[in-house]
Chain A
Amino acid sequence: MHTGKTFETRDPRTGEVIAKIAEGDKADIDLAVKAAREAFDNGPWPRMPGCARARIMHRFADLVDQHVEELAALDTVDAGKLFLMGKMMDIPGGANLLRYYAGAADKIHGETLKMARPLHGYTLKEPVGVVGHIVPWNYPTTMFFFKVSPALAAGCTMVVKPAEQTPLSALFYAHLAKEAGIPDGVLNVVPGFGPTAGAAMASHMDVDKISFTGSTEVGRLVMQAAAMSNLKPVSLELGGKSPVIVFDDADVDMAVNLVNMATYMNKGEICVAGTRIYVQEGIYDAFVKKSVELAKKSVVGDPFNPNVHQGPQVDKDQYEKVLKYIDVGKSEGATLLTGGKPCSDKGYYIEPTIFTNVTDDMAIAQEEIFGPVMALMKFKTVEEVIQKANSTRYGLAAGVVTKNIDTMNTVSRSVRSGVVWVNCYFAFDPDAPFGGCKMSGFGKDMGTDALEKYLHTKTVVTPLYNTPWL
């Protein structure tokens, strides 16, 4: 890196330093953008047919599969994620997403148009150019591929700034990309901090598009920087305070398990975590009792241990923030039913926590905690719960547990969120577009929709003479 500066990345199981990473700053971002610009304006990548990009992306995916254990270990030491989950799901999921978009690379279509005058018109879908990706720390691999895969398929070049908490796997992926045959300058990775490297990218005059996943506050800063610089289009995947609505016709055991997973998966460090749990009064008491039992059974410990359910929070800052929210909840008058304390003095482990008697205006019901904290609330009617579910500024995900077809149809249309999971949760799929509304952001990852973020539509028109049809 330019200045020779480095920063430390730490293992959240112990707080100890894993490695020193080169710290990218504005000058490094400048170099990276320059490389990406050159690769886009003059290099082979956008000039290859989609099927040729696809071959390289498939090789990249194969290499990811071949190195699954190393990659899973990197994310575990860097972010405290469960090793087994990484190996069985997250890393292969990244490879699968690469393959999905490899299969889309040769299917990006424009359209011939139906003009109202004697004109021949058609649209071209062109790669947007140099893309800046800002990737968060909660799912370093998944988020990396969410962003990089469609951008590669579309023929863009890019600079990735991974989160300062979790730079390791991104650097490894960059190495595998080169091995796969991705030409130099197409995929650049600059580890560094938000206010320096991230801000430099968001305000860079030569970046054509920014794709950001992270907190709502930082998303706002990114959008501001984009507007103040060159008006680069921005897509934001931000925070959430997603409701899970359990109706009294639900199977209670199934619902309890679903909600437990929705709140505590990845130690609560997921944008779509289901953290406001609305349970219909008919089953409320049984639900609360079983939820507490299940939470108490959760094993919190070393994420390399295959028997552990929950690893440590990602770093000291997050750890302290979560504990603070727990205190706030108590002082606001919510009832702490279980958990609420750290699990050990070393590392950043927190007990799975449940509050009840939560009201919608409390901070713990409105603000994103990003930790293993569940808020349980009671409701009576469908109309009431829809209104409560929609009563935050967020709109990312929602869960609905019911057997009734009408309830499902009504609620899924009425809840203002980017995704609705009915009788399931975290049902992500490469073909399913994902993204939020309201202050959870805009723009979709995954699905063919995600390609749109990295393409620009150009309309071409020319007059027609002597045409037998119009």
Chain B
Amino acid sequence: MVARRAASSFLSRRGLLLPRPPADSLLRADSARRSLPGAVYRFSTAPAATADEEPIKPPVEVKYTQLLINGNFVDAASGRTFPTVDPRTGEVIARVAEGDAEDIDRAVAAARRAFDEGPWPRMTAYERCRVLLRFADLMERHNDEIAALESWDGGKPLEQSAGGEVPMAARCMRYYAGWADKIHGMVVPADGPHHVQVLREPIGVAGQIIPWNFPLLMFAWKVGPALACGNAVVLKTAEQTPLSALYVASLLHEAGLPDGVLNVVPGFGPTAGAALCSHMGVDKLAFTGSTGTGKIILELAARSNLKPVTLELGGKSPFIVMDDADVDQAVELAHRALFFNQGQCCCAGSRTFVHESVYDEFVEKSKARAQRRVVGDPFKKGVEQGPQIDGQQFKKILGYVKSGVDSGATLVTGGERVGSRGFYIQPTVFADVEDEMKIAQEEIFGPIQSILKFREVGEVVRRANATQYGLAAGVFTRSLDTANAVARALRVGTVWVNCYDVFDAAIPFGGYKMSGVGREKGAYSLGNYLQTKAVVAPLRDPAWL
């Protein structure tokens, strides 16, 4: 034990405490080294060797593995626990209390009490703002610990969590802290002598279910606005990544959050998740995850108490490279748009449409870039891609490789497992992909880039829109008019023009069609956590109307 602690502190002094660049883009963490085309890249001729080396011991201890209900860490009612696994090795990091329906009941009861009777909604908004700001300060103070937990539990490169995601989560909390004391309703003109005020009130108890691909950031996107609006929350984390939420929730209590305002229940979807969705005491539901699960969530909400639901679901986002694009920049951006976070992004640019005039060059360069991608232990410096989250995803992704090959796409590079331990997959590129192929239609959620060819704008817009999804899109062009026209024509919630994955706090994010319902971030998220009440009284002898 002592030796392990000494090793942790050795590692933290040795440069795993990283400088933090301004965190306005998730891609910034590795952009500092890669912003210029032609810059010297690190070569990894044997990614397999990296993945098979002894995994680096993460410089953090797992302190919190129980449910957090009413300000206390407690075991599950059943006493059961489940393992959370290190995706580098498949080994267990820790056993975490497994919440089920009974625990959800307890958590909702605590949240209900905190909202109906407790101080949180009754404090001034300014005081709530101060709590959230203190929380952001604490997150920053513990940045590296939180990042290490996040990378250990989820497999994302440490540079990404420490340099990007944890600072972004703190930033998100600060953003919403600043909204707390500025939530306004309208005083509207009536058609006759009435005085009308519209009050925006906290909605009550919010149930939130978050995924495993960005555990901490998703925590911030959900908990931030919900608390800023004066609500109480029951949060169910993904079973693959329960650790960081428990840790930061303890910091939130340290910042002064009253008991019961935020309750965290680790557990599984069909048990804890379903119980939360169907609970009659929950006023609002917010979910981020797959489209398939999203449908179930919506159904359960409807069957129970018609609680309003916001959904952030899957995508098959097009990345469109026009004929006037700077090819080198487009290649780099398209690469990152797909491969970021091991390809595990709802908004991954997973259909790369390239204009025929630059297609061959694009494919060649994309191949080279993919081959240069450094795959290995996320705790090792310079690694761009860690393991996939678990065995299930791993198998599914390799299944898609096979599907791509079988359907006749050209496997340009990759397609194989890396190493013999954990869930590492080679950065994979398919070219000559056709719209009807499964790899062009279904969400893969892995490091497989699919490149398709197009001839002209109208055609690519039509093909880009020919999907049930509608989350995001990238458009790479120098033309102002093309950018304006295409941005309006794409049926998606976010259009990134000559950039990708820009997630600043004020930018609303969400999907069209089966990519979701509602928006998160920015002022738009507030509406998710507020109710609207009109108060009307007659006016006698008003001087004006």
| Chain A interface residues (CB < 8 Å from chain B) | 49, 51-52, 54, 58, 96, 99-100, 102-107, 109, 120, 386, 405-406, 409-410, 413-414, 430-431, 448, 462-469
Contacts and interface: CB of A to CB of B under 8 A. Distances in A.
B56 interface: no
A464 B506 contact: no
B178 interface: yes
Nearest to A96: B126
A410 B541 contact: yes
Contacts of A109: 506, 523
B179 A406 contact: no
B263 to A, nearest CB: 26
Contact of A103 (B171, B181, B481, B523): B181
B63 interface: no
Given A109-B506, A413-B539, A467-B489, 4 more contacts: A103-B179, A413-B542, A431-B181, A462-B484
B507 to A, nearest CB: 11
B190 interface: no
Nearest to A430: B181
A464 B24 contact: no
13 contacts: A51-B505, A103-B180, A104-B178, A106-B178, A107-B179, A109-B523, A120-B484, A431-B182, A463-B481, A464-B485, A464-B488, A465-B485, A469-B488
B545 to A, nearest CB: 9
B14 interface: no
B109 to A, nearest CB: 33
A379 B413 CA distance: 91
B43 interface: no
Contact of B481 (A406, A431, A465): A465
B540 A409 contact: yes
B537 A409 contact: yes
Contact of A106 (B133, B175, B180, B195): B175
Interface string B447-479: 000000000001000000000000000000000
Interface of B: 22, 24, 126, 129, 133, 171, 174-175, 177-182, 184, 195, 458, 480-481, 484-485, 488-489, 505-506, 523, 537-544
Contacts of A103: 129, 177-182
A412 B179 CA distance: 28
A462 B480 contact: yes
A464 B484 contact: yes
B211 to A, nearest CB: 26
Nearest to A470: B488
A161 to B, nearest CB: 30
A51 B489 contact: no
Contacts of A96: 126
Contacts, number: 84
Contacts of A431: 181-182
Contacts of A51: 171, 174-175, 505
A49 B182 contact: no
A274 B472 CA distance: 57
User: Most chain-B CB neighbours within 10 Å: which of A102, A103, A107, A462?
Assistant: A103
B539 A106 contact: no
| 3 pairs of A and B residues whose beta carbons are closest in the complex | A103-B178, A414-B543, A466-B485
B540 A406 contact: yes
A410 B542 contact: yes
B348 to A, nearest CB: 25
B293 to A, nearest CB: 31
A52 B544 CA distance: 43
B126 to A, nearest CB: 7
A48 to B, nearest CB: 10
A6 B285 CA distance: 65
A465 B118 CA distance: 55
Nearest to A415: B543
A114 B543 CA distance: 33
A361 to B, nearest CB: 23
A414 B541 CA distance: 9
Contact of A409 (B180, B506, B539): B539
Nearest to A55: B174
A239 B182 CA distance: 28
A413 B542 CA distance: 6
B512 to A, nearest CB: 13
A448 B182 contact: yes
Given A103-B179, A107-B523, A468 B489 contact: yes
A400 to B, nearest CB: 14
Nearest to B177: A103
Nearest to B491: A468
A79 to B, nearest CB: 26
Contact of A413 (B178, B184, B543): B543
A52 B22 CA distance: 10
Contacts of B537: 405, 409
A70 B154 CA distance: 51
A120 B489 CA distance: 13
Contacts of A49: 24
Contact of A467 (B22, B480, B485, B540): B485
Contacts of A465: 481, 484-485
Contacts of A413: 195, 539, 542-544
A386 B458 CA distance: 66
A80 B179 CA distance: 36
Contacts of B488: 464, 467-469
B175 to A, nearest CB: 6
A406 B184 CA distance: 24
A96 B177 CA distance: 13
B539 A410 contact: yes
Nearest to B506: A106
Nearest to A467: B488
Given A409-B537, A409-B540, A410-B541, A107 B481 contact: no
